[in-house]
Structure 1
Amino acid sequence: MKNLSFIDKIFYLLNSLLATLLLLSYLLPFISPSTIPFFAVLSLFVPVLIIINLVFFVYWLIKLKKQAFLSAFVLIIGWFSSPPFYKISSRSSSLNSDVKVMSYNVKAFDLFTNKKNDAETENTGFTFIKDKDPDILAIQEYYQSTKILLSYPYKFIKRKNDKGKFGMAIYSKYKIVNSGSLDFKNTSNNIIYADVVKQKDTIRVYNLHLESLRIKPNEENFGQENSEKLLKRVTNSFKKQVEQTNLFLTHEQQWKGKKIICGDFNNTAYSWVYNQITKSKKDAFTEAGQGLGKTFNYWFPMRIDFILTDENAIVNQFKSFSEKFSDHFPIQAKINWK
C-alpha cells in the first residue's frame, strides 16, 4: 500500500471490499434463504462481482502491482468451486435418437407477433420455434390465445384457474401418458410435469417457474419504488422459492426413471435453489454450452433459465439463443441416454 498513489489506494480498498463479497458469495449455495433472506439477494449480483474483479485483476496486472493477486486468488477459488461463469468449449455432437428440448419463458407471448424491419418476411416467435423444431417445448408464462401457432400432437396446458388464461405448458411430439401440477398456493407461479413415451422409454419432463422477484428493470417506473420495500419483496420471494423447491424435490424424488427438468428458476446458478435442484443432475449448459449462457434480457449476464437431466443422460448440445421475442431468451438442448 505504501507504494500506491492515493487513487490506487482507494481502488484497492474498493477491490478488497468487492473481492470479499465475491468470496462470501461462494457460500450462498449452502445457506437457505429462509435462514438469511438478505444474503440470498447477493446471488443475483455474482456475475457483476466476477466481472468487476476481472477488471481489477487486469488493472493491477497492467500496472505490474502485486495487488493483482487478491482478485486472482478469489477468482481461482470460484473457478474450482462454483458453476462456470463462462464456458470456453462446447459439445456439438448429435444423434438421430437425441431428444431436442427447448425451455422458454414467453412473457405471455406479448412480443411474439412483432415484425422485424423486413418488407418480405415476418419473423415471429412462433416461426422461430418452428424453425428450431424441438421435440419437447416447455413454456413458462403461457397465455391462452387464438394467436398461438404451435403445432404439436400432444400437449399439457395448466392454467392457474378455470376462468384464467395464464399458466404453463408442455408441448410434445411424443405421446403424453401422464401429467400433473404441483399447484402452488397464493402465487401465479407453478410447476407442472408430463410423462412422455419415446419408443420404449418413459421420460418425465418437469416445467418449473419458481417465485418471481418482480424486478422489471426495463419498465419506466423501475427505480421509483422505495428501496426498503423492494428489498422486503425480494427477500419474501426468496423465502417462497425455498418452499417451492422443497415441494419439487419431494415430488421429483418419487420418480426413479429418466427425467428432464426445464424452467425459469428466477435465480442464478450461484444460489441455494440451484444447488438443491441440481444435486444428482446435469446442467445442460455446464455439460455442452459455450459462452455466458445468458437467458435474461438485462445489461449484465444473468443465467436464470435451465435445462437439467438425470445423471445417466448425455447432453450432446446446448444453445442459448439471442432472439428477443420475450424478456427471456430461449434455450435448447439435445439429450440422449447411455
Structure 2
Amino acid sequence: MTEFTGQKNLSINNIEYYLPQKVVTNDDLSAENPEWDMARALKNTGVYRRHIASDNETAFDLGLAACNKLLDGLEQMPTIDAIIFCTQSPDHIIPSNAFLLHKSLKLSQDCLAFDYNLACSGYVYGLAIAEGLLATKRAKNILLVTADTYSKYIYEQDRSARLLFGDGASASLLTSGSDDLCVCDILCGTSGQYYDKFIIPVGGLRQPKTQDTDKVLMDPWGNPKSACHINMDGMGIMAFVNSEIPKHVKQLLKRNNLEVSDISLFVFHQASRSVLDALARFIGIKAERMYINIENIGNTVSSSIPIALKEAMEQKRISKGNKIVICGFGAGLSWASALIEV
C-alpha cells in the first residue's frame, strides 16, 4: 500500500462528457430478441437505455467530442501540457489515441501524451497518475480522457453484456492548488490471478485471430459469444466486488479518520443495479448518499465515474464542504478509490 501523505496536490477543475447519438432501449432489444426476459434484466442491471457508437465512430471520436465540449466551456484556455487517455478500444494498435487527440487539439510539442489500458477503475487510476505528474512538476494542466466503445466487442446475441454496457467518453481538466474538487487520498488494488474473469481471449499476440476463433459457443450461463468477444464471469466478478470493495472503501475512510456517515456522496462505478445495491448494503450507505445514473446510460466503463460526478454537480448533489468517495472496479481485476473534498 502506498504511504498516505495527506497532501492535496490534485484538483478536478472541470468535467465534461459525450455520449453517442444512437440510443438502444430495452424495448428495441426486446423486439429484436423476444425470448429475452426484459423485466428480469432491468431488475438486475438497472439499465433501460444505453448510447451506442455508430459503425464509424471510435473511442477517439468520443474522447475528442468530450474534450472540445470541456475546452469550449472554459472562460480562459489553459496551456495543456499533458494528455492521459484511458481506453481499451483504441483506434490503432500503434500509435495511442493520445497522439491523435494531441494532433486534433493542436497542442504544443512540449505536451506529453500517452494511453493506458484499464477498464472500470481507469478514472481513479488516471487521477493517481496525474497526481504524480503534478507533484513532480512534470505538468500543470492535464487532460484526463476516458473513452470506450465496448459495444464493438459484444456478440449481438450475448444477453449478459449487451443489456449492460453503453459507450461514452469523459474529459477532465486536472490541476493543483485550486479550490474545486480536491483529491485528498487515493487507494488502489489489483488481483491479477483473476485476470480471466473479464477477458477478450483472442485478438492479441498471445492468441491471434484465426478462422476457428470466430466460432460462437455458449458460455456456462447460456450466453452465445466467440473468443473474439467479451467473455465475462458475472457471478465471479460480483463475488469479488462483495468481498473486496467494502473492505477497500472502509480502509480508505479509516486512514483518513472518517466514518461512512461523514461522506456526503458515494459515487461508485455504475457496474449494475444489483452491484450498487449490494455495495450500499455491505458498506452501510443510505440511499440518499448513493449516486446512481445507470438507468439511462448503462455501464460506460472508465467513463461512468466522471459522468456521474458531472451529473451530481449539475443536480446540486455536491456542495461546498462536502466529502465524496469515488470508487471504480472491474477487469484486471483492478480497483481504486479516492477521497475528494469540495
Give yes or no for TM over 0.5. Answer: no
- Normalised by the size of structure 2, how large is the TM-score? 0.33
Of structures 1 and 2, the one scoring higher in RCO (CA 8 A, sep 6+) is 2
TM norm structure 1: 0.33
